[in-house]
Amino acid sequence: MEPRTTTTSPGRNEPIATSPASSERPAASGRTEPTTPNTFFGGKSHAELATEFNRDEEHVTWHDGALWWIRQKRDKISQQIPEWEELREAASQIKTHLLSNLHDYLIEFEGNLLKNGIKVHWASDAEEHNNIVYSILKAKGITQMVKSKSMLTEECHLNEFLEERGISVVNSDLGEYIQQIDEEPPSHVVLPCIHKRKEEIGELFHEHLGTEKGLSDPTLLTRAARKHLREVFLTRRGALTGVNFAVAETGEFVVCTNEGNADMGAHLSDVHIASMGLEKLIPRKQHLSVFLRVLARSAIGTPITIYSSHYRRPRPGQEMHVVLVDAGRSRQLGRVDFRDSLKCIKCGSCMNTCPVYRKGGGLSYHNTITGPIGAILAPNLDMKRHADLPFASTLCGSCSNVCPVKINIHEQLYKWRQVIVREGYAPKTKSAGMKAMAATLSSPRLFKTAGRLGRWVLKYIPFALKNGLNVWYKHREMPKPPTRSFSEWYARNRANNKSK
């Protein structure tokens, strides 16, 4: 699909849960295109970043438990709905239909937005998106903007772009706000600061909001943030929100939050800009009855998000803009094996269940969208930089089991591995090792010789395997070397049985 690039038209320590949001970045013709600057992650791999996260064992255990607790909440609430599996199937089929007819629905959506008096913009990549937002704000003389959670604008690095041009942006979602003042990207699509302790947040608030030193009570910290953000809402003339669902039939869009921050920003501003990826569309309004039921249940185990706000037209005197962003989506749509990843509604459920994510932390994914779904979306954007992500999985399939739109996540991860090896982006040592393994496993003689050699090495020179160069044994106990192989035991056992 070829996007048009026109700007037109008239008219316990309970984790701080935030809002299911939206997301992506540049396409064009090239195979790879850097998206996430390496400056924050220092060009480190998933394994290196996860190792850093793992240094604090107690914290990792807490992180693991907090996410698993949300996963269990999701299980409990979804089991209360007898038709849960039918809802997942319906959500998946609606998105399949949408992706197969995206061009037509985009045109229908654009037409209805215009009828509703909303200005429409098309952006093929992040830069174009950022320039569009900047030009809207500049035209109105706005130098301060409040933003509700939008993973798309995180991916486009909109804040940095605007700040370089003299426009300050405040993220109003509490978790995003915390990440912003700590100058870190979000680590989770729904729980952006889940990797932080309340004591760390207390320190940040002491430094930035002047709260009492040592204060770490979540309620008091939330009150302090609310007081500060209220002032921001009241003084900003420009507001940007993400989009959870955009309805082609009516030209309206729905933003889901648990804090009401999107509503505060949008209602109090003179200019409301909504940025959305092309795949956020749904064909009909009645389809919301499926998606709104699965979204919050999957995300944080609640029946619905506290606010599911519908925006259909600007209020008198207000300007409303929708920016439709491609940013790599057309390319992913063209990848037959991976197009279903565009069904994602960013509930974060695959992150909460993933053992690698829970133990490694979201920031180890060195990408805006983290976890299993991030590991599928990221290589589409920059295959070289994100070549390690599809390998950061046990392929246990738990992600696919919980996904409310039934994306075959673990199968796509497996397929990405094949593509990455084929394209030459796998580490040389891994490719050489796999070739040696394939040759050994396909030759009975070589297999037996390797087995004998391995048993001898384990017995007489175990340090040849257990050393700093062999990461496999870093956190594992050496097995006791068997005295003989299975085939030797089998042959002897058969001979013994025959002679009886």
Strands 168-171 and 271-277: unpaired
Closer residue to ligand SF4, CB minimum distance, 73 or 384: 73
Scanning residues 408 to 427, which ones bind ligand SF4 (CB under 6 A)? 409
Closer residue to ligand SF4, CB minimum distance, 273 or 290: 290
Verify binding: residue 204, ligand SF4, rule CB under 6 A.
Answer: no
Strands 271-277 and 319-325: parallel
Closer residue to ligand SF4, CB minimum distance, 211 or 349: 349
- Residue partners of 143: CB distance under 8 A and separation at least 6: 137, 166, 167, 168
The least CB distance from residue 70 to ligand SF4, in Å, is: 12
Binding track over 290-309 against ligand SF4, x by CB under 6 A:
--------x-----------
- Residue partners of 153: CB distance under 8 A and separation at least 6: 129, 147, 159, 240, 242, 275
Scanning residues 329 to 348, which ones bind ligand SF4 (CB under 6 A)? 344-348
Closer residue to ligand SF4, CB minimum distance, 244 or 269: 244
Q: Which of 349, 367, 398, 412 binds ligand SF4 (CB under 6 A)?
A: 349
What backbone torsions phi and psi does residue 153 show, to the nearest 5 degrees? Answer: -70, -25
Closer residue to ligand SF4, CB minimum distance, 109 or 338: 338
| Cα(276)–Cα(320) distance, integer angstroms | 14
Contact 16, 179 (CB under 8 A): no
Verify binding: residue 280, ligand SF4, rule CB under 6 A.
Answer: no
Distance, CA of 268 to chain centre = 30
Verify binding: residue 377, ligand SF4, rule CB under 6 A.
Answer: no
The least CB distance from residue 256 to ligand SF4, in Å, is: 13
| Cα(60)–Cα(125) distance, integer angstroms | 36
Verify binding: residue 281, ligand SF4, rule CB under 6 A.
Answer: no
Q: Which of 193, 373, 383, 413 binds ligand SF4 (CB under 6 A)?
A: 373
Contact 325, 278 (CB under 8 A): yes
Verify binding: residue 113, ligand SF4, rule CB under 6 A.
Answer: no
The residues pairing with 256 across neighbouring beta strands, listed in sequence order, are 308
Binding track over 383-412 against ligand SF4, x by CB under 6 A:
-------------------xxxx-x-x---
Helix (H, G, I), strand (E, B) or coil at 443: coil
Contact 118, 247 (CB under 8 A): no
Number of residues that bind ligand SF4 (CB under 6 A): 15
Verify binding: residue 174, ligand SF4, rule CB under 6 A.
Answer: no
Burial of 219: CB neighbours in 10 Å, binned 0-12, 13-18, 19+? exposed
Closer residue to ligand SF4, CB minimum distance, 301 or 348: 348
The least CB distance from residue 177 to ligand SF4, in Å, is: 22
What does the binding site for ligand SF4 look like in residue numbers (CB under 6 A)?
Answer: 298, 344-350, 373, 402-405, 407, 409
